[in-house]
């Protein structure tokens, strides 16, 4: 038996995986919305920083953190970067702990959605390519 004789993934298996990943993305997006809403429950405006849900080209969804400001002129905060470090130096130790919890959860949710969406896209492409290759049979 050669590698070419190995069992191929069935279209049904690929569709099932697409459905699982789609549900994972939906569940993660709900959790993202919950995090943003929880911030609004824990703190009242004006905020020095706050989470926002951002949808970007290609279907990816992220939570990003913005400094306070108006009319879309709020710069984003990179929790792991200089803006995050600077912000943490300007707040109380209790707020540092709370921001770190929110930021860790943000990182967890962002990577979960990104990985699920990337795999979802790949399986979608697999199914499309598979249909083309199978159509060659006549």
DSSP E strands: which ranges in 29-133? Answer: 49-55, 61-67, 76-77
pLDDT digit string, tens, across residues 88-105: 999 999 999 999 999 999
Q: How many CA atoms lie within 13 A of 58 on its CB side?
A: 11
Lowest mean pLDDT among 12-21, 49-58, 69-78: 69-78
Band (pLDDT 50/70/90 cuts) for residue 72 is low
Q: What is the mean pLDDT of the chain?
A: 92
Q: Crossing angle of helices 93-135/82-89, nearest 10°?
A: 160
**pLDDT score of 125 more than 80:** yes
Q: What percent of the chain has pLDDT over 90?
A: 78
Q: pTM of the entire structure?
A: 0.88
Look up tokens 């990985």; give the residue.
Answer: 115
Integer angstrom CA distances of residue 82 from 8, 58, 64, 95, 111: 48, 28, 15, 17, 21
Rounded-to-5 percentages of helix, strand, coil across the chain: 65, 10, 25
Section 69-97 average pLDDT: 89
Residue 1 has pLDDT above 60, yes or no: no
What digits encode the pLDDT tens for the residues 26-71? 999 999 999 999 999 998 888 899 999 999 999 999 999 998 876 6
Tokens standing for residue 92: 């109380």
From the list 120, 106, 3, the residue with the least C-alpha distance to 62 is 106
């Amino acid at each position: 038996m050669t590698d070419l004789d190995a069992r191929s993934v069935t279209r049904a298996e690929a569709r099932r995986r697409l459905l699982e990943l789609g549900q994972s993305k939906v569940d993660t997006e709900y959790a993202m919305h919950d995090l943003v809403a929880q911030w609004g429950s824990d703190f009242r405006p004006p905020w020095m920083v706050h989470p926002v849900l951002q949808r970007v080209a290609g279907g990816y969804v992220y939570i990003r953190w913005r400094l306070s400001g108006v009319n879309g002129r709020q710069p984003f905060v990179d929790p792991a970067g200089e803006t995050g470090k600077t912000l943490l130096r300007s707040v109380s130790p209790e707020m540092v702990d709370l921001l770190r919890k929110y930021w860790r959860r943000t990182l967890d949710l962002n990577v979960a959605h990104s990985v699920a969406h990337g795999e979802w896209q790949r399986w979608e492409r697999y199914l499309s390519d598979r249909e083309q290759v199978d159509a060659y049979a006549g």
